[in-house]
């Protein structure tokens, strides 16, 4: 042990140097692969090199960070400096959806997609001000730990665990799905095999070293993902506008996009309908209410997601926990304020190189993505030149010139395909794939750890066997980690249809279930045990009910819960005719697919189900407050406990008997 | 609570209200005027679009660094800060 901690000290003192060498090495590697490409090495091998080498590095970090200390396993020994914890949180936070999907959503949704940019950043204000420093002071290992201490016992803990499992599991399935997609595309593995290979990559990082290993891998993954995200956009910006600062130059891209949009209409290359969403005009996809509720749910969800909050348990002090939130947001911001530039550049590239071209002269990338069903021309997958010709010929009056409405691209390939579309060398495409993989793996690591810790620490150790020796706890924890990971991979391998929507659901579930209990627990002493439990169940229940009913039991919602059809944000007409749909024989079906005429098309007050916490959160707060006022105030002892949580000075409140020294 | 702790919590609460107020303004209110702001174009960016794509984000980042400092100052002045 003494030896190990001396090593740790050496490592912690040299963090700057270690990660600087690592970053330099990564740039050198990119350069080397670039040279190999020029020498004529095949694209497939370049892809292997990027994937293989980065995964090996993560695995190496995971293995050298192995630990048998409970404190290191659960909270990295509370030794992670604010700056590095910020990077780790950035990687933990930015998932496959942020890296791969965000720019794509912005491409398709224009202004309305910015709800995600705002929603996935602004929540950190709530994290820093309302929640994280207090949880750090308390000294929790898991979020349910805090609920249990504040709300007197295992009932509150169990409620917290249920919410945690619901939101983290859906989220981790999406990450493993993303890992599988990337591995499938870039190293040509079968999707199911790719999912399990990704799983192995995730496990090797987290299993041996728990939070400690995950932290240092995530820092390495952050560096890969941010370099991979920035290089192509900086390159495109320099190439097109002569300034390597895409965040400034894409203003010009936006102007060119609107000029082109107008030209297309004049030349008959686009109908008004296909341009009903000009890139910078607001509220064409979401009504204003939906736009703002979505931002709100994503922000509040950020402040409630256990895998994010638990990152702030690892800093050496409360002070550093606060600084660390600021660093986290800075590192996240670097990607998020670049995403709109990414979207604008790829849109401009598609508009200027593709639209108006003869369909016989389409570039090769159209077919390489079309084969996978990710690019559509004239309404059908653009699998080959013949297929495109046939599907366009089938359209009445098609002149053989590609119009805007003929072209469709899956938002998930915008980021990955843009370097290719813009004619950058393949090394950049490989780099982007490695970045996407880093984003998916790092988030999956954090989520799996949150899930396994809740099961091993909260359920097993705190509720089933409080006398379990340290060694046994860690063994159980690792076994559960593997079981949860396999369950998640199995679910991902089934290719659930609405995987990306489920990520947004996780935010609403966390917001509705946990936010009131966490915030009121610190900020309102009068919150009682009964109030908290009732509030968690009500907030979570209402959110879950709204999600399940609108998506899977829409007919039931219309018939019994007074739901109505959602409205088109431009014309304010219902997007589905309820009378017709309810008269259809399948109206009252359950567990319907997305193809069902009512699925995700009904709701209360025209609120989309991705903003389900719009109902759950107010209900959760109201129930928590009302029930608290109806039950006797918390004991004087508990009030003193809250006073202690509120001030940074002093020891952490949850003492771990074995191992970890609480405060440094 | 000791007088120090009371003062600490009162000032912490005011800071919290200020931060949440700024959050509401830059997270929501400013974007309610996107239509009007979009008429102002700076360096190619319609201002309403810019606020949602970058402006509010920059404010959030700056706010958090400032908050970490301000809260630390409160902690020190009321004697509840951690030892270095």
Instruction: Give the tens place of pLDDT for each residue, A452-509.
Output: 999 999 999 999 988 888 888 888 888 988 999 999 989 888 877 666 677 888 999 9
Is this model's pTM higher than 0.80 or not? yes
Query: Contact B57/A121, CB-based, under 8 Å?
Result: yes
Q: Considering chain A, what is the average pLDDT of its residues? A: 88
Interchain CB contacts (distance < 8 Å): A and B? 142
Q: What is the pLDDT of residues A625-663, one digit of tens each?
A: 999 999 999 999 999 999 999 989 888 877 654 334 333
Range scoring the smallest mean pLDDT among A293-302, A376-385, B74-83: A376-385
Alpha carbon A5 to chain centroid, angstroms: 34
Among A51, A49, A56, A54, CA closest to A32: A49
Looking at residues A572-586, what average pLDDT do you find? 88
Q: Cβ neighbours of residue A537 under 8 Å, at least 6 residues apart?
A: A159
Interface mutation vs chain A, best among B16, B41, B44, most A CBs within 10 Å: B44
Are A543 and A613 in contact, with CB atoms under 8 Å apart? yes
Query: Contact A251/B44, CB-based, under 8 Å?
Result: yes
Residue A71 has pLDDT above 80, yes or no: yes
Alpha helix segments (H runs only) across A242-287: 246-266
Assess A121–B contact: CB distance below 8 Å, yes or no: yes
ipTM score of complex: 0.96
Are A159 and A147 in contact, with CB atoms under 8 Å apart? yes
Which residues in chain A are contacts of B15 at CB distance < 8 A? 129
Q: Cβ neighbours of residue A453 under 8 Å, at least 6 residues apart?
A: A74, A141, A142, A210, A310, A477
- Which residues on neighbouring strands pair with residue B45, listed in sequence order? B42
Assess A233–B contact: CB distance below 8 Å, yes or no: no
Strands A380-381 and A375-377 turn out to be antiparallel
Residue of B nearest to A340 (CA): B53
Query: Contact B61/A129, CB-based, under 8 Å?
Result: no
Which residues in chain A are contacts of B39 at CB distance < 8 A? none
CA distance B48 to chain A (A): 9
CA distance B31 to chain A (A): 9
Q: What is the pLDDT of residues A178-200, one digit of tens each?
A: 888 777 777 777 888 888 888 88
Assess A127–B contact: CB distance below 8 Å, yes or no: no
Provide φ and ψ at A409, rounded to 5°.
Answer: -130, 135
Assess A117–B contact: CB distance below 8 Å, yes or no: yes
Nearest to B60 among A122, A296, A319 (CB): A122
A375 in helix, strand or coil? strand
Among A23, A265, A317, A480, CA closest to B83: A317
Domains of chain B by residue range: 33-75
Predicted confidence at residue A353, as pLDDT, reads 86
Are A314 and A78 in contact, with CB atoms under 8 Å apart? yes
Are A439 and A91 in contact, with CB atoms under 8 Å apart? yes
Return d(Cα A116, Cα A132) in angstroms, integer. Answer: 22
Predicted confidence at residue A3, as pLDDT, reads 42
Residue of B nearest to A292 (CA): B28
Return d(Cα A68, Cα A144) in angstroms, integer. Answer: 23
Highest mean pLDDT among A78-92, A95-109, A335-349: A78-92
Percentage, residues of chain A above pLDDT 90: 46
CA distance A488 to chain B (A): 33
Structure-model confidence comparison of residues A125 and A504, the more confident one: A125
Assess B55–A contact: CB distance below 8 Å, yes or no: no
| Token couple for B64 | 């958090």
CA distance B45 to chain A (A): 5
Predicted confidence at residue A274, as pLDDT, reads 64
Assess B51–A contact: CB distance below 8 Å, yes or no: no
Alpha carbon A519 to chain centroid, angstroms: 23
Return d(Cα A194, Cα A176) in angstroms, integer. Answer: 9
The secondary element (H helix, E strand) that includes residue A376 is strand A375-377
Assess A323–B contact: CB distance below 8 Å, yes or no: yes
Query: Contact A282/B35, CB-based, under 8 Å?
Result: yes
Range scoring the smallest mean pLDDT among A204-208, A419-423, A513-517, A532-536: A204-208
Query: Contact B67/A111, CB-based, under 8 Å?
Result: no
Burial class (CB in 10 A: 0-12, 13-18, 19+), A485: buried
Query: Contact B49/A118, CB-based, under 8 Å?
Result: no
Predicted confidence at residue A661, as pLDDT, reads 39
Q: Cβ neighbours of residue A294 under 8 Å, at least 6 residues apart?
A: A115, A116, A119, A286, A504, A608, A610, A611
A658 in helix, strand or coil? coil
Predicted confidence at residue A273, as pLDDT, reads 63
Residue A225 has pLDDT above 50, yes or no: yes
Q: What is the pLDDT of residues A431-443, one digit of tens each?
A: 998 999 899 899 9
Nearest to B53 among A114, A248, A326 (CB): A114
Q: Is A650 left (phi over 0), alpha (psi -120 to 50) or beta?
A: left
Assess A333–B contact: CB distance below 8 Å, yes or no: yes
Nearest to B19 among A118, A129, A291 (CB): A129
Return d(Cα A37, Cα A27) in angstroms, integer. Answer: 15
Assess B62–A contact: CB distance below 8 Å, yes or no: no
Predicted confidence at residue A5, as pLDDT, reads 44
Assess A337–B contact: CB distance below 8 Å, yes or no: yes
Q: How far is CA A447 from CA A93, A121, A173, A277, in A?
A: 10, 19, 10, 36
Query: Contact B57/A643, CB-based, under 8 Å?
Result: no
Alpha carbon A215 to chain centroid, angstroms: 17
Predicted confidence at residue A520, as pLDDT, reads 97
Query: Contact A337/B53, CB-based, under 8 Å?
Result: yes
Residues of B (17-46) whose Cβ lies below 8 Å from A: 19-20, 22-23, 26-28, 31-32, 34-35, 38, 42-46
Q: How far is CA A438 from CA A32, A94, A248, in A?
A: 20, 10, 27
Assess A598–B contact: CB distance below 8 Å, yes or no: no
Task: List, in order of start, the domains of chain A with CATH numbers.
Answer: 2-267+301-345+423-496 (1.20.1730.10), 357-402 (no CATH), 532-633 (no CATH)
A465 in helix, strand or coil? coil
B42 in helix, strand or coil? strand
Helix, strand, coil distribution of chain B in percent, nearest 5: 75, 5, 20
A356 falls in which pLDDT band (50, 70, 90)?
A: confident
Return d(Cα B42, Cα B55) in angstroms, integer. Answer: 12
């Amino acid at each position: 042990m003494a030896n190990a901690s001396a090593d740790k000290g050496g490592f912690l003192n040299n963090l700057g140097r270690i990660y600087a060498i690592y970053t330099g090495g990564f740039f050198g590697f990119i350069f080397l692969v670039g040279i190999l490409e020029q020498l004529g090495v095949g694209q497939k091998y370049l892809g292997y090199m990027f994937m293989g080498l980065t995964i090996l590095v993560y695995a190496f970090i995971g293995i050298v960070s192995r630990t048998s200390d409970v404190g290191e396993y659960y909270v990295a020994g509370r030794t992670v400096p604010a700056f590095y914890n910020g990077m780790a949180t950035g990687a933990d936070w930015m998932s496959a959806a942020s890296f791969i999907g965000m720019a794509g959503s912005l491409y398709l949704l224009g202004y309305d997609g910015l709800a995600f940019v705002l929603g996935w950043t602004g929540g950190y204000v709530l994290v820093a001000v309302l929640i994280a420093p207090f949880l750090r002071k308390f000294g929790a290992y898991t979020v349910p730990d805090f609920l249990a201490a504040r709300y007197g016992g295992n009932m509150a803990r169990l409620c917290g665990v249920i919410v945690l499992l619901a939101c983290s599991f859906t989220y981790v399935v999406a990450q493993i799905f993303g890992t599988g997609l990337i591995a499938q595309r870039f190293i040509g593995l079968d999707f199911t095999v790719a999912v399990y290979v990704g799983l192995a990559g995730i496990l090797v990082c987290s299993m041996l070293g728990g939070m400690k290993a995950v932290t240092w891998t995530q820092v390495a993954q952050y560096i890969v993902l941010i370099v991979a995200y920035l290089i192509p956009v900086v390159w495109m910006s320099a190439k097109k506008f002569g300034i390597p600062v895409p965040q400034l130059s894409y203003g010009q891209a936006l102007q060119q996009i609107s000029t082109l949009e107008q030209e297309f209409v004049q030349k008959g290359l686009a109908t008004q309908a296909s341009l009903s969403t000009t890139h910078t005009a607001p509220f064409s996809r979401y009504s204003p209410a939906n736009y703002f509720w979505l931002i709100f749910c994503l922000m509040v969800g950020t402040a409630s997601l256990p895998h994010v909050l638990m990152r702030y348990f690892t800093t050496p002090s409360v002070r550093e926990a606060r600084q660390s939130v600021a660093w986290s947001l800075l590192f996240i911001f670097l990607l998020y304020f670049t995403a709109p530039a990414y979207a604008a550049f790829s849109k401009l590239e598609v508009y200027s190189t593709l639209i108006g071209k003869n369909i016989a002269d389409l570039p090769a990338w159209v077919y390489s993505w079309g084969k996978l069903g990710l690019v559509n021309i004239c309404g059908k997958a653009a699998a080959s030149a013949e297929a495109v010709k046939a599907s366009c010929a089938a359209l009445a009056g098609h002149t053989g010139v590609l119009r805007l409405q003929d072209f469709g691209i899956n938002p998930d390939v915008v980021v990955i395909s843009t370097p290719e579309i813009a004619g950058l060398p393949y090394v950049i495409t490989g780099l982007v794939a490695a970045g996407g993989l880093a984003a998916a793996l790092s988030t999956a690591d954090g989520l799996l750890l949150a899930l396994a810790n809740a099961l091993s620490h909260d359920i097993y150790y705190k509720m089933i066997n409080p006398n379990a020796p340290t060694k046994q706890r860690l063994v159980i924890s690792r076994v559960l980690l593997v079981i949860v990971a396999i369950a998640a991979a199995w679910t991902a391998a089934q290719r659930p249809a609405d995987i990306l929507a489920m990520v947004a659901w996780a935010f609403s579930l966390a917001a509705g279930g946990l936010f009131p209990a966490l915030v009121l627990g610190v900020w309102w002493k009068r919150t009682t045990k009964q109030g908290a439990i009732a509030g968690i169940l009500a907030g979570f229940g209402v959110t879950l009910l709204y999600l399940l009913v609108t998506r899977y039991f829409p007919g039931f919602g219309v018939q019994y819960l007074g739901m109505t059809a959602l409205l088109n944000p431009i014309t304010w007409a219902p997007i589905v005719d309820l009378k017709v749909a309810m008269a259809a024989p399948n109206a009252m079906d359950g567990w319907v697919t997305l193809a069902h005429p009512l699925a995700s098309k009904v709701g209360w007050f025209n609120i989309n189900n991705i903003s389900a916490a719009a109902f759950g959160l107010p209900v959760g707060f109201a129930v928590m407050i009302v029930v608290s006022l109806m039950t006797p105030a918390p004991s004087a002892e508990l009030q003193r406990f809250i006073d202690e949580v509120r001030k940074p000075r002093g020891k952490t409140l949850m003492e771990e008997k074995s191992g970890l020294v609480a405060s440094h | 609570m000791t007088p120090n702790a009371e003062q600490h919590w009162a000032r912490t609460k005011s800071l919290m209200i200020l931060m949440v107020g700024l959050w509401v303004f830059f997270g929501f209110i400013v974007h309610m005027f996107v239509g009007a702001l979009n008429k102002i174009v700076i360096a190619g960016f319609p201002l309403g679009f810019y606020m949602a794509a970058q402006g509010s984000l920059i404010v959030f980042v700056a706010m958090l660094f400032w908050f970490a400092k301000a809260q630390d100052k409160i902690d020190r002045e009321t004697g509840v800060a951690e030892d270095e």
